[in-house]
Structures are given as structure tokens and as C-alpha cells.
Structure 1
Amino acid sequence: MSRSSAEGQRPAGYWDLLVLVEYRAVLTASALSWAGDYLCKAAVALQVFDRTGSVLASASAFAVGYLPWLTAGPLFAAVAERYPTRSVMISCDFVRAVLIGLIAIPGVPVSVLLVLLFTSGLLAPPFEAARSALLPHLLTGDRYPVGMALNNTVFHLAQVLGYAAGGVIAGYSSHTALLLNAGTFVASAFLLRRYVELRPAALAATRRSGLWSETRQGYVLVFGDPVMRAIAFIVFATVTFVVVPEGLAAAWASEIDGGGATQGLIMVANPVGFAIGGLIPTRLARLRTRLVRPLAVLAPLTLVPALLDPPLTGILALVTASGVVMSLLLPAAQTLFRTVLPDEYRARAFGVMNSGIQIAQGAAILATGAASEPFPTAMVIGTWCATGVLVMLLVSSQSFTRPEPSALSPDSTERTP
């Protein structure tokens, strides 16, 4: 075999992605936006607590950032298909920069601050949906699963760094932290405008039927197609179990006589696991898609030993291991999802998937939080994830192939992948 032929069949690696100027710009812009979001969450929560002295008010300010995905998220995500993806991302960045800049003004009433924060959060769904729709145009073939793995790793690193920077900088000046957050959005918009090509909208004007109708079509597409439905259920079910340690970190830390530092360690263990998983050789990207089912079962299984009430080192090992498994599972599931998803539905399908993930995580934390009132947290988490193993065995038995070609479009019998 010739050298060029061998290179043509060589699995893609991170360098094959990073040599692409557009991808580098999108990845850097996304990392800035992600880090800025978490920096903002930490800064706003601290600012509200300092001004009100209320833990509930501070927690509410933290939770406001998640509400858009639970309310108008899918509807706003559908907007990303009506306009060029680059334009959508840049517009969202600039508007968020202005809104966060207003929050940074000293003396803004808490009620106004929360409204501005919620409005800013409404721009995350179209930004992320546009990015999701753009990536398949930048990453072809074997580059896509590698890119998803790298994106997930960078996202979790940005989460850790954003929380850490938000805590440190906001402790000095929450207004400074918020201005830095606004600056990340401006920098993101500059990178996208300077280095990313302007591409036409995925959904032509002649095919538009109204945002509500288009959003509904996204749900029909995802849950009406057997392959996409199977992948969606696996993702939703998996995050339902692995998110619990993060949501119950405060209670778990208290039960092992730990304080805020212990809580923080438990909360960042999963993102650290994601980062570690991202270091696994990228040549395994093709193999990952064959391992979706076993990885889906393994994700909750890693947390079942919580039943043994381990010390802090054991807790961190379990939660980190679950992050490693998820770092392998999610890119594989995203790759399978991409292969059966029509281009003009990418943004809407992303909105459906992300909203489902947010709802699944919130419901899981509420349910296990209630169960932790009468029972030890370690027991609740271990039992919850043991149940998760059984659920994942059932959910992962669904097929990822079709017996015959099927139409994917909710409103057409002619459209195929």
C-alpha cells in the first residue's frame, strides 16, 4: 500500500481538526462562550447573595440560566435554521454581551438582574443550535466523532475554569467578572466574523411554516424516527443517572463531614473525567460507535459502588470514572445521530435533544434530592444508579438500524438521509 493511500485510510486525530481554520475559530469561540456562561453563573449567584443575604435568591439566580432550555429553548433553536449559522451565532454573542454588560452596572435591582439574565439565556439555544448545524459542514468523515470528543472535553474544561475564575474574580469584584463575561462574547463574535465562512440558511424561505410548526416538526422527526428515538432515549436515560452526584454534592459532602471544598471537588470530578476521556487515543473514534450499548450500561454502573459508602477518594474515583465513560459515549451517540439527520433539521433536532437533557437532569436531581431527605445520600445514589443499569439494559436493546430506507422528514415522504 502506498504512503498516500495509507494516510487516506488513517483515522483522524486532533491535529486533523486543528489545522482547519474555521473549526479552530468555532471551537475557540465556543470555549469563550462556555467559560463566560459559567463565570457569569458564579458571579451572579455571589452578587445576589451579597445583596440579599438569601440562599434561595442566590440559588434562583443560578438556576435562571437553565430555564430557557426548559421553556422556549426548542422554539428559539428553530430560528437557527432560518438564517445563516454564522450570522445567528454572531448576533447572539453581541446581544448577550450587551445584556451582561447591563447586569454589570452597579445598583441594578435584583429583579431586573434576573430578567436580564433570563433574556441572555434565551440566546444560548439558537447559538448552540447554529453551532451544532455548522459543525457537520466543517468536519467530514472520521473528523466528526473526533471533533465531538474534543468539543465535549473543551466544554467541561471551560466549565471547570469558568466556575473557578468566577469564584475567584467575583470574590474580588462581581462587576469585573461580569464585564469579563461580556468580553468573552465580543471575542467570540470577532473570531466567527473573521474566520468562518458565511453559508446560506439551512431552511429556505419557501419551506418555512412558522416557528411553532417548525419546532413541532423537530419533535416529530426525533421521536418519530426509530433510530433517532433510540439514540435520544439512550442519551436522556444516561444523563438521568450520571448527573446525580453533581446535584447532590452538597449533601454528600456534608455526610462525610466535608465542607464547601469537598462539595466543589465532587462537582468538578465529572468534568475532569470528561477531560481525561478526551485524552484517549482518537484512533478509537470508529470503535466508539460500536460501543454505544455497553458504554450506556457502564455509565450508571460506575456509580453503583456508592452503596458501599466510600470515603472522599472513592467518591471522586467513581464520579470521575462516570465522566470518562460519558466522554466516550456522547461523541459516539452524536455521530450516530448525525448520520440519520437531514441537514435542514439539525438545529431543531439539537433543540429537542438539549431540552430533553435539561429536563432529564432536573427531574433526576429533584427525585433523588427528595429521596435523600429520609435516606443517606450514598445509598440513594447507589440505588438510583443500580436501577439505571437495568433501565439502560432495556433502553440500549433498541436497534440503531432500519430494516428498510425510511423518510425522515415529518412533512414529506420523499426526504431520505
Structure 2
Amino acid sequence: MTEQPAGYREIFAVREYRHLFAANLLSLIGDQLTAVALAFLVYHRSGSPLLAALTFAGSYLTWVVGGPLLSVIADRLPRRTVLIACDLIRAALVLLMLAPGLPVPLLVLLAFVANLCRPPFQSARASLLPDILDGDRYPVANGLDNIVAEITQVAGFALGGLLVTAGSAQLVLAADAATFLISAALIASGLRSCPAATRAPAEASGPWWSETTAGVRVVFGDRTLRSYLLLFWLSCLVYAVEGIVAPLAAEYGGGARTGGLLLAMMPAGVAVGGVVLTRFCGPDRRRRLMLPLAILSCAILLPIAARPPLPVVLALLFVSGLAGAFSIPLNALFGRAIPPAYRARAFGVAMSGLCAVQGLSMLAAGAAAESLRPSLVVGAAALAATLSVLTVAATWPPTATTPASTPTPTLAEANA
């Protein structure tokens, strides 16, 4: 039976999703405002670009450090409770940053601890969506969330900069705390109470590290889930371009404005591609297009190695983002294929691996650009990504829709 496509009206007809959507939007805005305000505040007080950069990069580092570990919380405890607690903790920490005379190292530490709430919050939210949205509403909601995240990232940074310029970093932090408090209120009023996903006695009393390991084994012990994750991770090698955007802009004789255009093209493409895939393509067509789009998202950047004109580079980056929207239906397949008791941990593993892949690819690109022209480095990253994705495609499961029948490992097995 062919699954019927859903629209935005259908997903917003679900009350719990409306509240989750609004709460997530506020939390995303709060995250961006915190990053901008603290970067300015730390730089103003310390005069250190390194400390300012460290404060800004904390949101990415926390996924690498805390993704697999802290996502366990969202499986051990009721997910509604986790969402509310994360928002309240972040609000309290941001308000604490407003205390006058705080030493700069303490500000950086508070920012890092606040960012540690992101992995359990996002993992809990991602784990709830397959339960409250049935049929095609789940992938359509994934597409909308992706589009909103891309837009919020750009708009949040711009808004944060404007607010800091117009007022002060302290004013922005106060507004940030308010977004987390409102988010917590929306979740408390809009989501029904539900028990924790992990209910087995052995798991409830298992050691923390064993639970994390069990989540990793659920993903990598199953061929289908492993293929989903590797396709997503390896296609993101092309994001190495973000690590060398300044020298790439300089190669074309531009500065910050050119760099901003280069950075904006891929997210803009993903946003447009997300609309096209979720609004104008049915579920079956999305699944058929995933692999071709994944390959295209990487291979389309190969011509940049020949240093084409800047408008061509911008167009190629936009098309790469457009094809990169394949991750939206892929994410929906991944979420539905995971056993509910391990869903938050699996999302934590996925996000931490993604941040690690993107971070390492950017570092590698920066190192290569020390001796090679940046456009050639972008082409090399595209080649590595294309070959990697083709390797995954060659071993793609024939019917990659549900996980194999491999039994879910217990904590005792994971700890062996």
C-alpha cells in the first residue's frame, strides 16, 4: 500500500508537535543568541580571540564530548521531563552569567555546561517525533525542522549581533534566558506525561557507560542502521569548505562579504531542497532519490578544483546543498528503524559523529590550504566525499526501510 504524502497542515494539526516545534524554535534561537553574546562578552573582558573562539565553538564540542554519554538521559528518564529540565537548567546558567564581575574562565565554563544540555534535549525531542507523528507526517516534520534550523542559524547570528550592537551582551543573555523559560512552559503545557523509554530492570540499574555502549552497538550492529549513518556522515565531508571559507574568498579577491555568500549557499540549498522533497515528492520517490542525491551533493563540487568563476562556485555550492536535503528522508528512516528504548542514544551517536566528521574535515582542509590553493582543497574534499559515498552505496541494503532482525543487545552483552 502506497503511503499518502502529508502536508504542513497535517503535522500542525497534532497539538504535541505544535508545542514541540515552538519550543525547539525558541531553544534554537536561544542557543544562537548565547553563542554570539558570550563571544562578544568574553572578548570584551579578556581581549583574547582564542577564548572568544573557544566560547563560540563550545556548542559543537559538547556534541563530540557529551553526545553519546548524555543522550542516555533521554532514554533513562521520561523525555518530557528531560526536555523541561534541560531548558530550566540552561535558563538558570544563562541568568548566572549576568552576575557582575564574573571571571572570564568561569563564563567560558558556564557556557560549556549550558551547551552540555543540548545533546539530551535534542535527542529527547528527536526520539519523541516518531511516536507523535504517524505515516508521512514524520518525514515532513523532519524536513520542516531542518529548514527552520538552517534559517534560524543564519537569522540567530545576525539578530544576536544586532542586539549586542544596539544594547549589550547582558541584555541579549537576559532575552536568551527568557526563550528557555518559555520553551519549558510550552513543553510542560503541550506534551502529555509518558514513562521512560527504557523500562527493563537490567537497563534501569545498568552502569552509565554500558548503556552508552549498548546504544552504539544497536546502530553499528545492524547493517541498515550502519548504512544510514555512514551515508550521512561521509557525505558531510564536503562541509570542509566552511573551514577554509576565508582563504577561499581571498582567492577570489573578496573579503568578509564574499565569505558570507560562500557560507550561505549550502544552507540555502538545503532549505529549498527540504521544501521540494517534503512538499512535492511522495514518500516512495524520496526513498528512491536518496542515493542519487547523496552522490550528487558531493560530486557537484568537483569542478571547483579547476577554479571556475565565483558565480559558478556559488551555484555549485547551492546545488550541493539542494541535493544534501536527501538527509531529511534519511533521518526519518533512521529514526523509525531504531528500537524506541535506544532511540535517544542512537541520535546522540549520530550527532556526535557528525560534529566530529565536520570538525576534522575542516581542520584537514585548513592544514591542506597552507600549501595548496583553497579551491583545489575543496575539490579534493569533494572527491574524498564522492568516493566514500559511492562505497556506501555499493553495499546499500536492498530494502533499507527497517532494521535487520538482529536482536537488540542487552546491557550485559554491550558490557561484554
Q: TM-score range by the shorter chain?
A: over 0.9
Q: Shift in Å at residue 218 of structure 1?
A: 0.6
Deviations 1:19-70 (A, max 9, x none): 2111111111111111211221122222222222322222111112222211
SS where residue 71 of structure 2 aligns? helix
* Counterpart mapping for 1:7-406 below 5 A: 10-172=4-166, 173-204=168-199, 206=201, 207-208=203-204, 209-241=206-238, 243-280=239-276, 282-286=279-283, 287-327=285-325, 329-401=326-398, 406=405
CA contact (8 A) 1:293 1:397 kept: no
Q: Distance in 2 between matches of 1:162 and 1:274?
A: 17
CA contact (8 A) 2:241 2:365 kept: no
SS where residue 187 of structure 1 aligns? helix
Q: Shift in Å at residue 401 of structure 1?
A: 4.5
- List gaps (5 residues or longer) in structure 2: none
Q: Distance in 2 between matches of 1:312 and 1:264?
A: 13
Deviations 1:56-99 (A, max 9, x none): 22211111222221112211101101111111001000100111
Q: Distance in 1 between matches of 2:327 and 2:376?
A: 27
Aligned residues: 405
Could you tell me the percent identity over the aligned residues? 38
CA contact (8 A) 1:304 1:382 kept: yes
CA contact (8 A) 1:12 1:283 kept: no
- Matched residue type, 1:236: W
Q: Shift in Å at residue 145 of structure 1?
A: 1.1
Q: Distance in 1 between matches of 2:81 and 2:109?
A: 25
- Matched residue type, 1:394: T
- Matched residue type, 2:249: A
- Matched residue type, 1:319: L
Q: Shift in Å at residue 302 of structure 1?
A: 2.2
Q: Distance in 2 between matches of 1:405 and 1:42?
A: 44
Q: Distance in 1 between matches of 2:395 and 2:407?
A: 18
Q: Distance in 2 between matches of 1:266 and 1:39?
A: 22
SS where residue 134 of structure 1 aligns? helix
Q: Distance in 2 between matches of 1:211 and 1:296?
A: 35
Q: 1:306 to 1:198 in 2, by over 3 A?
A: same
- Matched residue type, 2:298: P
SS where residue 407 of structure 1 aligns? coil
SS where residue 126 of structure 2 aligns? helix
Q: Distance in 2 between matches of 1:323 and 1:34?
A: 21
Q: Distance in 2 between matches of 1:386 and 1:89?
A: 40
Deviations 1:236-262 (A, max 9, x none): 101122x12222222212222222222
CA contact (8 A) 1:225 1:408 kept: no
Following superposition, which runs of at least 4 residues in structure 1 exceed 4 angstroms of deviation? 401-405
- List gaps (5 residues or longer) in structure 1: none
Q: Shift in Å at residue 283 of structure 1?
A: 4.1
C-alpha root-mean-square deviation of aligned residues, in Å?
Answer: 2.1
Q: Distance in 1 between matches of 2:352 and 2:273?
A: 25
CA contact (8 A) 1:89 1:130 kept: yes
- Matched residue type, 1:407: T
- Matched residue type, 1:336: L
CA contact (8 A) 1:146 1:285 kept: no
Q: Shift in Å at residue 118 of structure 1?
A: 0.7
CA contact (8 A) 1:89 1:127 kept: yes
SS where residue 281 of structure 2 aligns? helix
Q: Distance in 2 between matches of 1:365 and 1:29?
A: 31
CA contact (8 A) 2:127 2:335 kept: no
CA contact (8 A) 1:105 1:175 kept: no
Length-normalised TM-score, structure 2: 0.92
| Bigger mean CA deviation after superposition, 20-29 or 259-268 | 259-268
Q: Distance in 1 between matches of 2:112 and 2:213?
A: 23
- Matched residue type, 2:47: G
